[in-house]
Amino acid sequence: MNLTADLSQLIDQLEPRARPGGKGRALMVMGASRNAGASTVARELARLAARRSQRGVWLFDLEFSGNPQARAARVRGQAFDAGFGRDPFWSISAGGERARIVARESVVGNLFVTELQAKSGSVERISLRPAPDYWAAVRQSVDLAIVDAPGNSRAPLSMAADMDGVILVADARLSRLDGIAARREAIEARGGVVAGVILNRAGPVRSAA
């Protein structure tokens, strides 16, 4: 699969749904199965979107342990508070220690990636929750927010209704793809909308209305 060409096509297809009244969009990229490659797709989608962005693209990494997206994107420089002045979609229990989620700019211009800053071993639990006011503030501030959601967790489903769409990523090498239907049903049951399906590692992007 040619990620650059196919994801550029996906961005073009999604663009007409974008920015009513000048607002940005919030999209979630979620694996339909474990190791489907959703994180790679999310990062490449963010990188390509940042090229045409004026207000910036934020990549939210829900794999808090180790900050893999921040490392892969080689973030640098000043850290920005990812709270946008609202109650965010996360809650962190860190045994009284300071813990926060920030965003730093990638070596790719206009691309900011979140990372968890906390004392090693202090984080006991991170909970996710709906936060429509938070995402409204995000849309007012950036052109595009992309949420990289682990395919092995159901916790991000609580955020599905706050997104403008969810892009599912499935591994085309698997003989059974019924995980796509199951994940779609779970997203729609939470009030979310599946905006597209990517069969990773084979063929072009398939988009869905």
pLDDT at 117: 95
Rounded Cα gap, residues 159 and 162, in angstroms: 5
Where residue 135 falls (left for φ over 0; alpha for ψ -120 to 50; beta otherwise) is alpha
Q: What homologous superfamily does CATH list for 3-207?
A: P-loop containing nucleotide triphosphate hydrolases (3.40.50.300)
Residue type, 5: A
Residue with the two structure tokens 């006011």: 133
pLDDT at 22: 74
Q: Residue 154 is encoded by which pair of tokens?
A: 């159901």
The packing angle between helices 3-14 and 38-51, to 10°, is: 70
Q: What's the pLDDT score for residue 20?
A: 58
Taking the whole predicted model, whether its pTM rises above 0.85 is answered as yes
Count of C-beta atoms within a 10 Å radius of residue 151: 22
Tokens of 140: 């007012």
| Average confidence (pLDDT) per 10 residues, the chain, 209 residues | 65 58 89 85 92 92 93 93 96 94 94 95 95 96 94 91 94 69 93 88 46
Tell me how far apart the 2 most distant CA atoms of the chain are, in Å.
49
Determine the pLDDT at residue 156.
Answer: 96
DSSP code at position 40:
H
Other CB atoms within a 10 A radius of the CB of residue 8 amount to 18
E strand or H helix that includes residue 90: strand 90-93
The residues facing 206 across adjacent strands are: 197
What is the per-residue pLDDT for 206? 44
Predicted local confidence at residue 203, as pLDDT: 46
User: What confidence score (pLDDT) does residue 115 get?
Assistant: 96
